[in-house]
Amino acid sequence: MTKQAVAFTSPHFLATQAGMDVLQRGGNAVDAMIAAAAMIAVAYPHMNGLGGDGFWLVHQPGQKPWAIDASGTAATAASPDWYAQRSLQTIPTRGAPAALTMAGTVAGWQLAQDTWSAKNPAEQVMPIADLLAAAITRAEDGIVVTDSLAAASKKVADELQGAVDYQSVFTRHGSPVQPGETFRNPALAGLLKLLAEQGLQSFYRGQVAEGLAQHLSACGSPISLDDFTSYQAQLVTPLEVSIDGAEIFNLPAPTQGFASLLLMACYDCLAKADWPEAESIHALIEITKHVFALREQWIADPSQVPVDLQQQLSAASVARIAAEIDLQGVAQWPRPAQGGDTVWMGAKDADGTMVSFIQSLYWEFGSGVVVPQYGLVWNNRGSSFSLVPGIRQLAPRRKPFHTLNPSLLIDHSGERIAFGTMGGEGQPQTQAALMMRHRYRQQSLADAVSRPRWLLGRTWGDEDHGLKIENDLDADIVAALESRGHSITMVPPRNEAMGHAGMVKAMTDGGADAATDPRSDGLALTSG
């Protein structure tokens, strides 16, 4: 087989370099993503880490895409009664009671490599020790603190002032880290070394698991050692939807992948070739409102989903839902919104395998519960559970609703695009914006990712539910949206609140293209 061009993109240049190094050494896209996932856990500790969750979408030419759900389940002890006994009416967003779901991302790394090996028995995977080596070195030697990390550290300073373990690992003697400083995490380097020596499964069984479980329990989390030993990442069937000339794939519940697919499909159903950009943006905003309402009714732990999500993505269902959307007016908003903070990365290897990948702690620095022995912070994804009856009510071993969702498009020509973004409510919206600009308006990947964006609802750590638009968007477009009745808040250009988007394209001739978001500290590389 003729070797193809390789590509990698991520929101932090160190992760891109780690992934590209594996690809240039002949490694596959799955191995490259594991190396990058470990590196970005070191470089962007406010947004993701080994104490969080992950989702994978993988496609090899000529095969059906496959997906991994590496999200954590609620602790066996976690229940509404557990919180009632502690006089808690809602699940906190910070502290030990917020650390109630398992961390799944490391199990996802292992399952991704195992699945790739099973599907490609003649091919070799790289040893885990080799894939973690660069991240270990960087955790020991230190990273340069980015504006993003510094801003997140400053933002949580008051909220986590009393979190002694967080203070000991992630602050400078109690003060937030500053841009340009060197931040070292030798304890995380030690954890990665143990995983390199003992295997990734040791995170859940053995010395590492015992240390993590002991600390979480001592802090007051409901998570026990049994929750570690019983946890498994899952191989799942992706959802898919057809648009004109292509299929788009994403993750099933508990992610909002359904919302991303339905949003793009409804736009494809309603869009007209002669629409000006203002009309396209207006349509996407109104479609978003309708789709998010369905998301809130339907997306939860898979056992609680009341409809067949794949059936709801059939051509007939999409046409019916699209017909319900009124593009002549402006629907009421806000609704209760979902936050979120994460990293998305994409890869293409020399054999054409593509990976769309996302990894998260939920909010910046997750629950704020830090295990100083291992230098990692635990996620607070379980705070999206409810304590009252409904499809998202907390129960042992259930999965909470996830904003995380990586996408992949396969064109009937053979061209493929992995794409995604961080940003809570912004993820489906930005994915749709990328497709609108690249596929429908023929903009380059770089332009589709970098041009001014909009956001309806909340992004990571943000409480504003309204419509926000970067103020370098063409004034005529903004005026046209206001004339339609949209209430708009203008924000500075290249605003991190709009998320960190990225795209990787596999060409039919074996070439590749990639783009990263100027709102991040990212890098997009292609070679060959």
Active site residues: 342
State how far the Cα of 141 lies from the Cα of 337, in Å rounded to an integer: 39
Contact yes or no for 451/443 (Cβ under 8 A)? yes
Torsion of CA 389, 391, 393, 396, to 10 degrees: 130
Residues 6 or more apart whose CB falls under 8 angstroms from that of 466 comprise 333, 334, 456, 487, 488, 489
The residue to which tokens 């000529």 are assigned:
62
Quick one: tokens of 146? 């980015």
CB 67 within 8 A of CB 402: no
Amino acid 117 reads S
**Rounded Cα distance, 453 and 460, in Å:** 16
49, 69 in Cβ contact below 8 A?
no
Query: How far is Cα 43 from Cα 57, in angstroms, rounded to an integer?
Result: 23
The radius of gyration computed from the CA coordinates of the chain, to the nearest angstrom, equals 22
- Distance between CA atoms of residues 259 and 295, nearest Å: 6
End-to-end CA distance of the chain: 15
Q: Which residues, in sequence order, are bridge partners of residue 342?
A: 360
The dihedrals phi and psi of 240, each to the nearest 5 degrees, come to -145, 155
